Chain A
């Protein structure tokens, strides 16, 4: 948005979204700590499962050839052209298009991160520790982006989506089951078993669907 419409309105939009996010987190964080842990695990597990299965479903369909792989360069070019051709409307001295798009983008992506950090933190009993983990992850991602940009750029987008889907689904199954009042055999170590199960299941579905696609071709 900044390189297409100018940086002033874009950065003000991003800053306003960060303020809104801080207010939401300040209100939600303490509220989450008073909810009973099993209820929280059930709700969080359910949400992680539906999010995770959405990611996994799309990644499996793309990996097996039933959906076209996302061409990130083409998406960037299309969205840049759309941003450049949108009419310029001034409100409060700002390019309203640039302000609202950057506000919405930062707020929605930030909400996802805030949701994950708050829920992981509260289900494990320490929101500050989860926040420190999130901060460390931001630093790590920035450093990795600076140091190994080229090799990272070659990792297919669908592989990342696949991994995110597997992780979200794994945690969703684990916490959802505990939230429903069931204890895993082996305690927390069962998480590794669930991770292996979801990974193998997803890879198996990719193989089966790929064969089906080839058979129909």
Chain B
């Protein structure tokens, strides 16, 4: 059971869980902004750029 759980964790989340958390947060912000009159299409591209860079920086330092 533990190995099964680990397999799905590795399959979906991968090496850096912070990336998955960042994406979930970005979805939340996008959905919140979508209920207002503020355009929200830019949130996810910006979040992807930020989480990817932070994840790369953790390895490349």
A185 vs B55: C-alpha distance when bound (angstroms): 29
Query: How many Å lie between the Cα of A197 and that of B44 in the bound state?
Result: 12
Give the contact stretch, choosing among A16-24, A51-59, A74-82, A93-101. A51-59
Q: Is A133 an interface residue (CB 8 A)?
A: no
Q: Which of A54, A57, A184, A205 is within 8 Å of B41, CB to CB?
A: A184
Within 8 A of B (CB), among A177-201: 177, 180-185, 190, 194, 197-198, 201
Q: Could you tell me the distance between the alpha carbons of A160 and B30 in the complex, rounded to whole angstroms?
A: 31
Chain B positions 1-22 with a Cβ under 8 Å from a chain A Cβ:
12-16, 19-20
Interface centre among B24, B39, B41, B53 (most CB of A within 10 A): B41
- Do A198 and B48 touch across chains, with their CB atoms under 8 A apart? yes
Give the docked Cα–Cα distance between A177 and B34 (Å).
10
**Chain A residues within 8 Å of B39, by CB:** 182, 185
| Majority secondary structure, A binding face | helix
A residues near B45, Cβ cutoff 8 Å: 173, 194, 197-198
CB of A64 within 8 A of chain B?
Answer: yes
CB distance from A39 to the nearest CB of B (A): 11
> B12 near A47 (CB under 8 angstroms)?
yes
B-side contacts of A134, CB under 8 Å: none
Q: List 21 A-B contacts (CB under 8 A).
A: A49-B23, A49-B44, A53-B19, A54-B15, A57-B15, A57-B16, A57-B52, A60-B52, A61-B60, A173-B44, A173-B45, A180-B27, A183-B41, A185-B41, A197-B45, A198-B45, A201-B49, A201-B52, A205-B53, A209-B56, A212-B60
- B residues sitting closer than 8 Å to A (CB atoms) are 12-16, 19-20, 23-24, 27, 30-31, 33-35, 39-41, 43-45, 48-49, 51-53, 55-56, 59-60
